[in-house]
Amino acid sequence: MQTENHHSLPAGNTARGKFSRMAIALADWSERWFPDALVFAFVAIVIVFLAGLCLGEKPGNLAKDFGDGFWELAPFTLQMAMIIIGGYVVASSPAVRVVIRWLARIPRTPRGAVAFVALLSTTSSLLSWGFSLILGALLVRQIAQNIRSVDYRAASAAAYLGVGTVWALGLSSSAALMMATRGLIPPAILKISGQIPLTHTIFAWQSLVTAAVLIVASVSVAYLSAPTASHAKTAEMLGVKFDVDIPPTDPSQTPGEWLEHNGILTVLICALGFSYLVKIFIARGVLAAFDLNTYNFLFIMLGMLLHWRPRAFARAVSASVPATAGVLIQFPFYAGIFGIITKSAISNRLAEFFVHISNTNTYPLVIAIYSATLGLFVPSGGSKWVIEAPYVLAAANQLHINLGWVVQIYNTAEALPNLINPFWMLPLIGLLRIRARDIVGYTALQLIINVPLVLFFMWLFARTLPYVPPTTF
């Protein structure tokens, strides 16, 4: 068991001690006061409904708007669920598990382990937020068995940092991928913004610099806030016990079962799938072809190949499905919010409000604060963007703000409330067998540090980008 010498300097006189005490205090507070994730969605519905009434809308019309919008995001809901499934299937494959065991042996001290998890969580989230969640959870489980004195809450919070900081600046950005995929852009948004390529959003140098700064800041805070061994709450103290999540497949007994345990069909299907990917990448270019459908298709093919046998792949998918429950039940309610906002006077009034209180210099700050605030009630990068985009982009056109950077302002700011909203914690805490309130104290400290950084860079880089009128061809 590895420990750190925490007696060399008085904790009260070091940055480490201050951050650690602050994180522990926030953790104690959150254990008492944080509600369930679904409550946030319900509160948002009430607030939006009351806002509609205040603007003179009839209750019956608002109820109709809610019902009409309830299923409008059904295809997008499936895509979000498939991101979780694909990320889980890849991360839980035998080959990736070997890599996780190797990674878990790299850190030698409890604090070093927390910082290491934070680094992998944030960087892997740029590839896939679903993969980042599962990879982080599996890594923490292994580290907790290797370094018994690591604070399980701090390590678990570190595994979640990608979703609360930079995921939307990476390849699984729901808003950026939607705006780059003409068929996924709702008509009401398309006529305002046109199609916005990824080179104007997640691959802009301004976005890449922002992501790098946030990763460095998040890893540093994770290291400084992790309790030393003498103050840590270990997995054992929290009553967490580990077992094998996906049992090995049984040997085949019948000719039919032989196909389930043989990789021949997997090879044929994966060859077909990867041939399709190569074809569209060549025909359209990698960046243009990389939309949500292509992204999910790639991860499903990788998952099949890594699990090799159809039975093993099916078991991994079955194990991943519970993690999608929150998406499947809550997204329709967000779609209902979208229906109320876009079909009533709320959308136009909000656009007028933002134009009235903003100018070219202050608009990035206003939108960043608004997106982060709304994220407390609608914790979804994609469905919340559908809610905001009509009036946010319309106001940006009037103020001549670069539309691609508006998407990135949204992407960066909307991730912030994930640090304290338990919705996206659900897959992680299910694997780690803890509660959201166990880690919110540590993630709340990250929020305090990241907010001023996000606001500054969103304002600064907006000044470096020219306005480009929307194109709809």
Task: Name the CA radius of gyration of the chain, rounded.
Answer: 23
Residue by residue, DSSP assigns 201-267 as TTTSHHHHHHHHHHHHHHHHHHHHHSPPGGG---TTTTT-----SSPPPPPP-SHHHHHHT-SHHHH
Whether residue 47 lies inside any domain: the answer is no
Whether residue 387 lies inside any domain: the answer is yes
Amino acid at 137: A
Whether residue 469 lies inside any domain: the answer is no
Question: Whole domain around residue 215: which residue ranges?
Answer: 12-41+56-239+255-462
Tell me how long the chain is.
Answer: 473
For residue 377, the model assigns a pLDDT of 67
For residue 6, the model assigns a pLDDT of 42
Whether residue 2 lies inside any domain: the answer is no
- pTM here? 0.77
First and final C-alpha spacing in the chain: 61
For residue 294, the model assigns a pLDDT of 82
Composition of the chain by helix, strand, coil, percent to 5: 75, 0, 25
Q: Domains in the chain: how many in total?
A: 1
Whether residue 145 lies inside any domain: the answer is yes
For residue 11, the model assigns a pLDDT of 42
For residue 275, the model assigns a pLDDT of 95
Chain center to CA of 348:
29
Whether residue 467 lies inside any domain: the answer is no
Residue keyed to tokens 């840590």: 232
For residue 36, the model assigns a pLDDT of 67
Q: Measured between alpha carbons, how far is 473 from 178 in angstroms, rounded to an integer? A: 16
Helix (H, G, I), strand (E, B) or coil at 318: helix
Report residue 183 as tokens.
């068929």
Whether residue 468 lies inside any domain: the answer is no
Residue among 393, 279, 449, 338 at smallest CA distance from 76: 338
For residue 4, the model assigns a pLDDT of 45
Residue among 117, 147, 237, 156 at smallest CA distance from 442: 156
For residue 343, the model assigns a pLDDT of 80
For residue 248, the model assigns a pLDDT of 59
Whether residue 425 lies inside any domain: the answer is yes
Segments of the chain with pLDDT less than 70: 1-16, 28, 30-37, 242-256, 258-259, 286-291, 347, 351, 377-383, 472-473
Residue by residue, DSSP assigns 369-390 as HHHHHHTTT---HHHHHHHHHH
